[in-house]
Structure 1
Amino acid sequence: MSKVVLITGGSSGIGKSIGEYLSNKNYTVYGTSRNPDNYSDSKFPLVALDVTKQETITSCVAKVLEKEGRLDVLINNAGAGITGPMEEIPDEEIKRNFETNLFGPINVIKAVLPTMREQKSGLVINITSIAGYMGLPYRGVYSASKGALELVTEAFRMELKAFNVQMCNLAPGDFATNIAAGRYHAPVLSGSAYEKSYSESLKTMDAHVDEGGNPDDVAKVIAKIIETKHPKIHYKVGAFMQKFSVVLKRILPDKMYEKLLMNHYNL
């Protein structure tokens, strides 16, 4: 029987690539978008969902279950970028980012778990970020929200083992998607203590995305995870140095690692 897969944020970027790749491998795929009508050319069905609105989460999961009668895989992909000096990002933007990157995914997980427990099977893959393994300058809020989702996954895994429901993280590095266009950028303030360094860091961040890898590489790893009987807790996909940066953080003294990051961002 074809596995039923639900992908949040399936209308563009990594989510779209995952959906198309899995569809071509004969999975039954549903993606989500806040405005599905804007994507009539989608190669797989899109269901309305905004991860910050509980009623849309409930409705989306109900629609998939009504059509398919089961749900085998949830890929929590919907997320939002945010940049800015920690001192200058408005509180409401910090909260909004956590609503999208942490609380939203948790609420989608909660919505699918009753079905997966009843089935005595299921897999949840949370798309986090390599940025979630370290506090990056001018990306601190994003690092924090994605890092929190990594830890939440570890806790969920242990709580769900008795029900044969599995969960893991996939942390991508930089990929050539439209994430930079959708980020909240705190404005570069004239006269700010961070004006020069933040402005230069923004250029570096955008260049990393523009030069990023093909999002199909993420889709291929997702397929391998789904086909793995006992998935690992953490997966990473991206350029060698991006993945190796996580290893370096584990083995280098803190101040040495901090210096490497500051040199990378020309701080």
Structure 2
Amino acid sequence: MPEPLPHPVVDNHCHLDIADGPDGSWLQTREAIAQAAAVGVTRIVQIGCDLPGARWAVEAASAHDALVAGVALHPNEAPLLAEAGELDAALEEIASLAAGDRVRAVGETGLDYFRTGEDGRAAQQLSFRRHVDLAKRLDRTLVIHDRDAHEDVLRILDEEGVPERFVMHCFSGDAGFARACLDRGGWLSFAGTVTFKNAEPLREALRVVPQDRVLVETDAPYLTPMPYRGRPNASYLVPLTMRSMAETRGEDLAELCAAVDANTEAAFGGTW
């Protein structure tokens, strides 16, 4: 276990349903929450990326006070559902789930041009637009997945109208893209990738983000920070990312933790 943080923070993007696998081979939900709390990660945003995951996120958030939920169709899900003629029905169920009291976010949605080729981009963009509209109608935070699609993400946000609150999940751009997201009022969330040796452009982006716009996440069980890269990630490893972020920014760790904690409340609509 890492050394506990000097001030609590929130892991604003986690996939406990993936960690809580049917074979019991990784952390169970209660254990994951308890281990995170022991090092100062006292709250978690549980993200559902497909219909089963979104249902699970709502149920988990209802069962655990430390959790709130985000629900959406991941951009890589959209082309598959569209091909099967099921996208509209799936989006309707997401809208129903997003109205729940324990749901704070519509996400993760967005665009992913790394895994989906050009033939699936129209469905991704349609799904993204529908999620943007949903976030605005329900006053939910929009959580954006953006992989190799910076320009189209910004274009669609501009065309649809930027929601009151949006988070760039696992921010992956450079300083210029960071400024473009900040200009639109977003919060930028950094994961374990910011600790990787080859991530200097990402650290440059981190340095230009105002202290009141920076968030931290795991994307667990993915994107494990150094020195444990390659192992399953979990919220209790957030202190490794936070210490790296404070060092990169040249800031006091306790001050940055307090800011990240307050920022997460602002980004996700208040405390829980």
In which range does the TM-score fall when normalised by the shorter chain? Answer: 0.3 to 0.5
Q: What TM-score, normalized by structure 1, do the two folds share?
A: 0.36
TM-score by length of 2: 0.36
